[in-house]
Amino acid sequence: MSAPHIVDSHCHLDFPDFDDERADVVQRAVDAGVTRMVTICTKLKNEPHVRKIAEEFAPVFYAAGTHPMSAADEPLASVDDLVAMSQHPKFVGIGESGLDYHYTSESADIQKQSLRIHIQAAQETGLPLIIHNRASDDDMTRILSLAYNDKPYTCVMHCFSSSSELARVAIDLGFYLSMSGIAAFPKSQDLRNIFKDAPVDRILVETDSPYLAPPPHRGRRNEPAYTAHTAKIGAETFGMDYADFAAQTSANFDRLFAKAAGWTP
């Protein structure tokens, strides 16, 4: 019997960790039931390489933006550039963008400027915004909410590991929360409780590979095939059968990433 179908909504297949076996990594994911993967470009100068990966592998889609930890070191993105990139048939999201005050608080101002540009691109294209947030809940809440009140947009809080307060704000705005390997770590019960309080139709799963491998692979390189390990913990968290949870999160992905859902070769 084949594995239940599931989606890895956030990975980084362009990273050097995969250079020697990218085709094998994609095939292992497919064999594990991962029907689609969204590989994320974190520096716009790398967009051509990421785009090529999406073009090479049928199950792979891509998104592009400037990661907040790179915002001070990379040229500031423009709305026009992001909108132009979004015309590619396999470009399905804006980002990842956001705020990271844990490692790069000194660049907070430029991070906020960059985030607002990405929000505007999401508003103009109708594609979902992909948010990275670390140690910046207050500013994130304010910026996302004010922008949404100005013009609604869709969004996923990627690799969500923030506060219950930010989770409630995101859900109230109609956004989605994504479970990464962090949610599968034994000591992450408080985080699992936050997810449990959210509607299951707003939950995605991801690997963020090559980072954050879930048990039993923790401490080693992550890859999209391991999506199921996190999703099985997600199923337990919501009191669901794994196949039902996989189907629910796949349907959630289709709703948010409608362009990916509608793509045909």
pLDDT digits (tens, 9 = 90+) for 180-208: 999 999 999 999 999 999 999 999 999 99
Task: Order the strands of the 60-64 sheet from edge to edge.
Answer: 6-11, 34-41, 60-64, 91-100, 129-134, 155-157, 176-179, 203-205
Cβ atoms of 41 and 21 closer than 8 Å: no
Output the pTM of the full model. 0.97
CA distance 54 to 88: 10
**What is the band of 2 on the pLDDT scale with cuts at 50, 70, 90?**
confident
User: What's at 247, amino acid-wise?
Assistant: A
Phi, psi of 151, deg, nearest 5: -160, 115
pLDDT digits (tens, 9 = 90+) for 56-105: 999 999 999 999 999 999 999 999 999 999 999 999 999 999 999 999 99
CA distance 152 to 175: 11
Give the domains, in start order, of the chain with CATH numbers. 6-261 (3.20.20.140)
